Amino acid sequence: MLVELKNTTRKLCVIGDPVLHSKSPLIHNTMLAALGLDYVYLCQPVPAGETAAWLTAAKQAGYAGFNATMPHKEALVPLMDDLDPDARLYGAVNTVCLREGRAIGYNTDGLGFLRALADAGVRPEGKQVVLLGAGGAAKAVALKLSQQGAGRVWVCNRTAEKAEALCAQDPAGRLVPAGFDPDTLRRLCREADLLVNSTSLGMAGGGGQFGDLGFLDALPPEAAVFDVIYHPAETALLARARAGGHTARNGLGMLLYQAVYALERFTGTAIDAAAMAEKVAPLLAEP
């Protein structure tokens, strides 16, 4: 991608460890070019434990802001001068805006997930949800679903303590910890309106695979299935769900929309999220 740099160009980036595989520079630079905004978006490896040092360096280097992925999302929280409600609720920051020496932390993951749900015609209000996993992605999904009035969200995880810890963070009390064994998943799926996989199972590059996808057969016909994974575009879980007649979506929509909402915060520019996602999505299509 050709990016024009001028003396006035403002800097943005994504930090993480590892991070050189990130699609964020491609997504953001494409959006910035389409909007005609004088910014450039870079990729900056920052090792674990160096979050505070990076924040100081970013301020000194005149960055307008940055996105954060593992392992920095939680480490950024106590370093912020202010937090938006979602970042405070999740205890994690994925977007930092630097303004007049102050660092304001946001989290756009939950908003991105909600917009992806809406694109598929799924509203969370009153829905019974089976959520697989209890990691960082699960936290944003689970707490946003509860905040939006989901009837109940079963957080299914192999390590019971992690599921219990996540559920304890829900002020509304809609999250319920549950096991990850086949019998439990089948039982819960019988009552589900929505199933979301927030684990790495099925991810390209070594995320592992589900040993048994039979629990999908217990879902009611109208239940929708989402996977936060976007590479590959169709995981084994999504293929099985689609074959069973379910609405099935991967994580590309969530990825694109969280980036759109982050860029709005960086630049103060209102963006047509649907139009921008449509423009960027083909660039991320698998060969």
User: Which residues are documented as binding site for shikimate?
Assistant: 22-24, 69, 94, 109, 230, 258
DSSP β-ladder status, 82-83 and 128-132: unpaired
Question: Hey, is 151 helix, strand or coil?
Answer: coil
Beta bridge partners of 105: 83, 96
CA distance 160 to 134: 9
Q: Mark whether 73 is an active-site residue.
A: yes
User: Which residues are documented as binding site?
Assistant: 22-24, 69, 94, 109, 133-137, 157-162, 228, 230, 251, 258
Residue from 276, 95, 91, 71 nearest 165 by CA = 91
Q: Which own/partner pairs from 52-55 qualify as long-range (CB within 8 Å, at least 24 positions apart)?
A: 52/79, 54/15, 55/79, 55/96, 55/103
Whether the bond between 71 and the residue before it is cis, its omega within 30 degrees of 0, is yes
**Biggest CA pair distance of the chain:** 61
User: Which residues are documented as binding site for NADP(+)?
Assistant: 133-137, 157-162, 228, 251
| Residue at 247: amino acid letter | T
CA distance 225 to 260: 23
* Cβ proximity of 216 and 244 under 8 Å: yes
Among the listed residues 73, 127, 139, 144, the single catalytic one is: 73
CB atoms within 10 A of CB 194: 24
Catalytic residues: 73
